[in-house]
Amino acid sequence: MKRVLRITILVVIGVIFISTIVFLYMKSEEKPKIYKTEKPFITNIVKKTVATGSVVPRKEIEIKPTVSGIIDKIYVEAGKLIRKGDLIAKVTIIPDMLSLNNAESRLKQAEIKFQDVELVYKRQKELNEKGVIAKAEFQKNELDFISAKEEVEAAENNLQLIKEGALKKSGKTTNTLIRSTIDGMVLDVPVEEGNSVIESNTFNAGTTIAIVADMNDIIFKGKVDETEVGKIRQGMNLLLRIGAIENDTFYANLEYIAPKGVEENGAIQFEIKADVKLKEKQFIRAGYSANADIVLDRKDQVLAVKESLVDFEGDSAFVELETGPQTFKKINIKMGLSDGINVEVLEGLDTTSVLKAGILEEKEEKKENN
């Protein structure tokens, strides 16, 4: 009995030992690698660069007063369409005390002179009618009288302009009424009624009363890096994507490239401008941020492969071509245009070629088997 039990235990131990050896052997044996494959395909390849910027009106005008004073009335608001000559605001003049004093003094002097000349003129006129004095002498007095009268009117108009910006003779206001200089839309009115404004002159830019722009003539204004500016030229087509307008694209034509770059964040940037082609009855707000794709080169319906499948050795490019089931051979190919994802194949492959595209993972393998 004891002998049978001993033999049984030895047999069990032996089976366990052999099973362990077999299991470890099978575990250590490498499974054959299975590779994914892909074929070349026909596609369009577009090489482009991206410029960031915004869309703005080509013509944006700041309306400024030609007199200093206080805003008495504003007749427009942002978003209103106006035409050239339309009234924007009215300014009440606050006259300069020195100019006002000089104008009043000039008027008084002109009135005093006129009174004196008028007395002489009336006296000489009576004498001329009686034939006492020569007609030539009277004409001289008459000319002095007319000149003195004109001087009074000029002094009165000057005083009226300084006080109210109006001509006494015509009764029409002049530069106190601020009018638009172009047709367009009012983008902003940065002042309010009661604000003081400064006139635009050679020493001061003046206070902006309103900003008016033609919203039918929009351009894209952006920046291009110095590494890309040499690849673009005027007349190129741009594809705009405006962040605030989803699922819509706009076309533009490059019309300006800055001859001088500006340093920004350690890199030299060149300004570009492009004419945006608006769709019919479409309105774009000024200042929208936008990205512009500039097409540097394009090839349609060409043979291509994914650039990730290409290996490089020096100046040569290689792919691994399947010559049999899971058997691959390195071959040299000639490449053309690349967009960073796909690359054009000029020589070495056709649409029937099968290329190695990486190891097939276990999950993918099970999926394919199912």
For 187-317, where are the alpha helices, taking DSSP H only?
226-229
Domain ranges of the chain: 35-45+300-369, 49-57+218-298
Compute the distance between CA of residue 139 and CA of residue 324 in angstroms, rounded to an integer. 123
Compute the distance between CA of residue 351 and CA of residue 336 in angstroms, rounded to an integer. 16
The topology under which CATH files domain 35-45+300-369 is: 2.40.420
- Tokens representing residue 73 in the block: 């009335």
One digit per residue, the tens of pLDDT, for the chain of length 370 reads 666 667 777 777 777 777 777 666 666 555 667 778 888 889 988 888 888 899 999 999 999 988 888 898 999 999 999 999 999 998 887 766 777 778 778 888 888 888 888 887 887 777 777 777 777 777 888 888 888 888 888 888 777 776 666 555 555 556 678 899 999 999 999 999 989 888 887 788 889 999 999 998 999 999 998 888 888 889 888 888 888 887 788 889 999 999 999 998 888 999 999 999 887 777 888 889 999 888 888 888 989 988 888 888 878 888 888 888 878 888 888 888 888 888 898 888 888 888 888 776 544 444 444 4
Model pLDDT, residue 175: 67
CATH of domain 49-57+218-298: 2.40.30.170
**CA 41 centroid distance within chain:** 38
Burial classification of residue 114, based on how many CB atoms lie within 10 Å of its CB (0-12 exposed, 13-18 middle, 19 or more buried): buried
CATH topology agreement for domains 35-45+300-369 and 49-57+218-298: no
Compute the distance between CA of residue 134 and CA of residue 130 in angstroms, rounded to an integer. 10
Q: Which helix (H) or strand (E) holds 15?
A: helix 2-28
